[in-house]
Amino acid sequence: MIDPNTTAQNNPRKIAYIVVHCTATSPSTKIKNIQRYWSENLGWKNPGYHYIIEANGNIVTLLSETKSSNGVQGYNSTCIHICYIGGVDSKIKPMDTRTDAQKAALLSSLELLKKKYPTAVIWGHRDFPGVNKSCPSFDAKKTYANIK
């Protein structure tokens, strides 16, 4: 669930971006496996995202919005990162695999985050300069352009 207690006024970080991600894994991948990968393979102390959405639409908080995660290199201090589990087909090719439950949870989460951070723009990971990824495997910038 999106943290209802953090607001733009009490967050010491200036949030300029709300970033949509996919895990680029199977939609059935467990969060603990993703966390283990960050820790053991990448050596990260903080997770890649603030929020992650399971296939059933359950939203799990991984990090407080007041802290920087590892979502987009060079931009993390100004971002809130939200991710859905999935984003690739069985051959690991980029594909929008969001379930209806994930789509609904992502939309409601982005609406809530946009209310909390009204000046922030919603971008997909792929929309940042120098990023050569398909993440989140759909055009988040266009899809969520009307969220005010």
Non-local (6+) Cβ contacts of 118 within 8 A are 8, 148
Q: Using pLDDT thresholds of 50, 70 and 90, give the confidence band for residue 26.
A: very high
Average pLDDT over residues 9-37: 93
Residue 4 has pLDDT above 90, yes or no: no
Q: Which residue has the higher pLDDT, 139 or 3?
A: 139
Is the per-residue pLDDT at 112 higher than 90? yes
Reply yes or no on whether the pLDDT at 127 is more than 90.
Answer: yes
The CATH number that applies at residue 62 is 3.40.80.10
DSSP label of 52 = E
Q: Is residue 3 part of a domain?
A: no
Report yes or no on 97 lying in a domain. Answer: yes
Is the pLDDT at 111 greater than 80? The verdict is yes
DSSP conformational letter for 123: E
Compute the mean pLDDT over every residue in the chain, rounded to the nearest whole number.
93
Count of domains forming the chain: 1
> Is position 11 within any domain?
no
Residues 44 and 37 sit within 8 Å (Cβ to Cβ) = no
Looking at residue 2, what is its pLDDT? 83
Q: Let me know if residue 9 belongs to a domain.
A: no
Structure confidence by residue, pLDDT tens digits, 79-94 = 999 999 999 999 999 9
Per the domain annotation, does 77 fall within a domain?
yes
Which structural domain, as residue segments, surrounds residue 116?
Answer: 17-143
pLDDT at 148 over 90: no
Residue 7 domain flag: no
pTM of the model: 0.93
Cβ neighbours of 118 (radius 10 Å)? 10
Q: Does the residue 111 lie in any domain? A: yes
User: Closest Cα partner for 21 from 46, 49, 61?
Assistant: 49
Smallest Cα–Cα separation from 76: which of 36, 117, 47?
47
DSSP 56-109: TS-EEE-S-TTS--SSSTTTGGGEEEEEES-BB-TTS-B-----HHHHHHHHHH
How far apart are alpha carbons 56 and 111 in whole angstroms? Answer: 19
The two three-digit tokens of residue 141, written as one number: 């910038």
Is residue 12 one of the residues assigned to a domain?
A: no
